[in-house]
């Protein structure tokens, strides 16, 4: 079991970044991390519950939630919310609106459109273990006071 994961969570919160000068001033971001546990209820049925991610182990399913809010007095346009994916995690890409990077945030796209060079000079399709960053591009203006939530799943390796 891994302890001290709270320090990682703090680093992840600090690394969640809105893009654009105005966005940095007006958009508040808060990242939360939970581990999904399966418990057997009184009737013997499995129930999925979210727990604090202060103790995790390889194979644990994490749920990361990014809450956002426009605290400014003007609409924010072109907001991109970016999160790094630490080496010890494998992202589960299920949201069609999410873009991923496999090169530290230099290039973005859908996972199935990403390719990496191989040691013998060829290329191979990227897999979830190759993802270094995840990004959401907000399609609309975000009005003053508007808020929302983005989430994604990852597995501890």
Predicted confidence (pLDDT) per residue in 135-153, tens digit: 999 878 999 999 999 999 9
Mean pLDDT of 18-39: 79
Nearest to 141 by CA among 99, 79, 97: 79
pLDDT in tens, 80-124: 999 999 888 999 988 888 999 999 999 999 999 999 999 999 999
Domain that holds residue 53: 5-156
Chain mean pLDDT for the chain: 86
If one counts the domains in the chain, the total is 1
Beta bridge partners of 28: 69
Residue 49 has a pLDDT of 93
Q: Where are the beta strands (DSSP E) in the chain?
A: 17-18, 27-40, 46-52, 61-70, 80-84, 89-92, 98-101, 115-117, 123-125, 133-137, 147-156
DSSP 83-101: EE--TTEEEE---TTEEEE
Q: Which helix (H) or strand (E) holds 24?
A: helix 21-26
Three-class SS state of 44: coil
Instruction: Read off the pTM.
Output: 0.76
Question: The CATH number of the domain where 92 resides is what?
Answer: 2.60.40
Q: Of the ranges 23-32, 46-55, 70-79, 117-126, which one carries the lowest mean pLDDT score? A: 23-32
What does each C-alpha distance from 1 to 5, 12, 56, 76, 157 come to in angstroms? 10, 20, 6, 42, 12
Task: Quickly state the pLDDT bin for 16 (edges 50, 70, 90).
Answer: low
**Alpha-carbon distance 137 to 75, whole Å?**
15
């Amino acid at each position: 079991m891994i302890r001290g994961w709270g320090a990682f969570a703090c680093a992840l919160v600090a690394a969640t970044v809105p893009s654009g000068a105005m966005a940095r001033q007006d958009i508040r971001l808060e990242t939360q991390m939970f581990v999904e546990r399966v418990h057997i209820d009184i009737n013997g049925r499995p129930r999925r519950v979210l727990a604090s991610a202060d103790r995790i182990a390889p194979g644990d399913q994490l749920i990361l939630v990014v809450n956002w809010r426009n605290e400014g007095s003007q609409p924010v346009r072109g907001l991109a919310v970016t999160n790094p994916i630490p080496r010890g995690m494998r992202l589960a890409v299920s949201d069609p609106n999410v873009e991923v990077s496999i090169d530290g945030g230099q290039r973005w796209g859908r996972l199935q459109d990403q390719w990496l060079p191989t040691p013998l000079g060829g290329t191979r399709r990227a897999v979830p273990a190759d993802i270094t960053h995840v990004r959401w591009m907000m399609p609309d203006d975000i009005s003053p006071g508007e808020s929302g939530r983005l989430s994604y799943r990852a597995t501890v390796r």
